[in-house]
Structure 1
């Protein structure tokens, strides 16, 4: 019986495809790696002094923990809210489903202060910021 469908490769090419796929079909593991669906964040209650997660070298003036906190803030804060007060920061963090530890830390900031960017928020939270050699310290 012949195939009357829309197969444009033919039987010979179909057999070649099957042979090429044999190894992938027989594999006892996934042949494609899967990316995590959500970014992983830091549990701020557990982070103290040193960070156990492998990370690239921190810039001058910052520890690995400082870098993680700054990255987490930048990921969960909308750039359009700056300059912002504490209430705007918390609103943005809630909208972007920030971890509770980050919300707790930002809620401890003074309510009347205005922050011009993520770096200013990180510094107000007591974390180190990147040193700029061109700017006087």
Structure 2
């Protein structure tokens, strides 16, 4: 058994005994049955935040789920060290990082003389939307 630096050996062993039921049998480790959480009743709905889909995170105001995904993909292929950057630099980085052709094609349609300070500005210029700030 691994010893901790925060507790003494006696407390480590007591804590191991407390969790032994969970670790070994998959059953509750509670010593008193009344402390076990009760299962949902038959007439109770399932506790699910997104019953009709998969919950993957919030969508900021001003963006769509597709916009969030596109901005994330764009940022992943560009990185943050490229900024400030112009269109040709962005295209070079996307090609270098094997970005999908649809993303490279979309960036090719941006104005050549515009300078972008971050992925949010590029995403906004591509029509993914602009996140409304809370501050």
Q: State TM-score, norm by structure 1.
A: 0.56
CA contact under 8 A between 1:55 and 1:64: conserved in structure 2? no
> What's the Cα RMSD here?
1.8
Structure 1 residues 54 and 108: CA distance shift in structure 2, 3 A:
farther
- 5 Å-filtered alignment, 1:31-110, equals 55-110=56-111
Q: Distance in 2 between matches of 1:106 and 1:57?
A: 26
- Distance, in Å, in 2 between the alignment partners of 1:56 and 1:72 is 15
Unaligned stretches of 5+ residues in structure 1:
1-51
- Give the match for residue 10 of structure 1: none
Distance (whole Å) between structure 1 residues aligned to residue 96 and residue 115 of structure 2: 20
For residues 84 and 55 of structure 1, the distance between their equivalents in structure 2, rounded to whole angstroms, comes to 31
CA separation in 1, counterparts of 2:58 and 2:81? 29
Check 1:82–1:56 CA distance in 2 against 1; reply closer, same or farther (3 A cut): same
Following superposition, the deviation at residue 79 of structure 1 comes to 1.4
The alignment partner of 2:122 has SS state of helix
Alpha-carbon distance in 1 for matches of 2:92, 2:66: 24
SS at 2:81's partner residue?
helix
In the other structure, the counterpart of 1:122 is 123
Aligned equivalents of 2:109, 2:58: Cα separation in 1? 29
